[in-house]
């Protein structure tokens, strides 16, 4: 069974540009979440999608947005890039919460974004 | 608000010795607790989770964790450390299937 696939693995962008990152979840997983990882702030939750609907959003500015398609693939977009957006962006997929339990999430290898 | 603390930035242990990586949490209601591991330039890998039931949870690669409700702790343990266990470990609270709140991480170094 294929894991979570994130593309591209590495990106270098200039301040002010925009970027789109892609995530293909594990087959059958309908929940996709995005996290930003930096040395200073650690792992911070960006947003979570389930069946094309954003269910939850972290504390990030509106420059960060996302969407999910009918095949559960997800994209996140960052507009007007700032130096501080340099980070590892991780996507995770999981089964929806059922029966009062919480399923574990499976993470992709991430996209390393460098803003110069 | 939910929060996770990992009081040690770094843990060093000799190969073959037992290891413990500490985690404490704050959450209203019953916690869903997780441990993940991250190797260099990789995403996070799931190790184990506590949802309900037995307080001692066994996971991947010989790891286990003990849930202690009175101390609000969920420490990760392994009886005999391997050099290959050296990595960054994250404790997390699950938020009803929507997202995780992660601790700051603990870097484990297993010395040969």
Nearest chain A Cα distance for residue B68, angstroms: 19
**Tell me, what's the pLDDT at A96?**
67
Q: How confident is the model at residue A3 (pLDDT cuts 50, 70, 90)?
A: very high
Q: What is the mean pLDDT of residues A81-94?
A: 96
pLDDT at A107 over 60: yes
Q: Please name the member of A43, A58, A109 whose beta carbon is closest to the beta carbon of B90.
A: A43
User: Mind listing the pLDDT tens digit for each residue in A21-79?
Assistant: 999 999 999 899 999 999 989 999 999 998 899 988 999 999 999 999 999 999 999 99
Q: Please name the member of B41, B46, B51 whose beta carbon is closest to the beta carbon of A101.
A: B51
In this structure, is the dihedral angle defined by the CA atoms of residues A19, A24, A29 and A30, taken in order, positive or negative? positive
Chain B contact probe: residue of A9, A24, A25, A43 with most B CBs at under 10 A: A43
Interatomic CA distance for residues B26 and B65, integer angstroms = 17
pLDDT at B98 over 90: no
pLDDT at B16 over 60: yes
- Computed over every residue of chain B, the mean pLDDT equals 93
**Tell me, what's the pLDDT at B31?**
85
The answer to whether the CB atoms of B44 and A101 lie below 8 A apart is no
**Tell me, what's the pLDDT at A99?**
46
User: Mind listing the pLDDT tens digit for each residue in B22-58?
Assistant: 999 998 888 899 999 999 878 899 999 998 888 999 9
pLDDT at B2 over 80: yes
Nearest chain A Cα distance for residue B82, angstroms: 23
């Amino acid at each position: 069974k294929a894991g979570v696939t994130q593309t591209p693995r590495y990106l270098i962008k200039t301040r002010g540009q925009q970027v789109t990152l892609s995530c293909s979840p594990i087959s059958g997983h309908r929940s996709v979440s995005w996290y930003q990882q930096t040395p200073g702030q650690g792992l911070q939750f960006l947003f979570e999608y389930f069946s094309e609907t954003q269910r939850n959003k972290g504390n990030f500015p509106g420059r960060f947005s996302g969407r999910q398609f009918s095949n559960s693939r997800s994209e996140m977009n960052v507009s007007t890039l700032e130096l501080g957006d340099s980070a590892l962006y991780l996507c995770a997929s999981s089964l929806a919460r059922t029966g009062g339990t919480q399923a574990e999430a499976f993470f992709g290898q991430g996209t390393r974004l460098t803003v110069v | 608000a939910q929060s996770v603390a990992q009081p040690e930035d770094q843990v060093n242990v000799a190969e073959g010795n037992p290891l413990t990586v500490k985690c404490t949490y704050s959450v209203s209601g019953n916690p869903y607790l997780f441990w993940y591991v991250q190797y260099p330039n990789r995403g996070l890998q799931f190790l184990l989770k506590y949802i309900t039931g037995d307080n001692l949870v066994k996971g991947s690669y010989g790891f286990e964790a003990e849930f202690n409700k009175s101390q609000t702790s969920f420490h990760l343990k392994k009886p005999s450390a391997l050099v290959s266990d050296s990595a960054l470990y994250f404790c997390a609270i699950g938020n009803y299937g929507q997202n995780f709140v992660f601790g700051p991480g603990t870097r484990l170094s297993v010395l040969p």
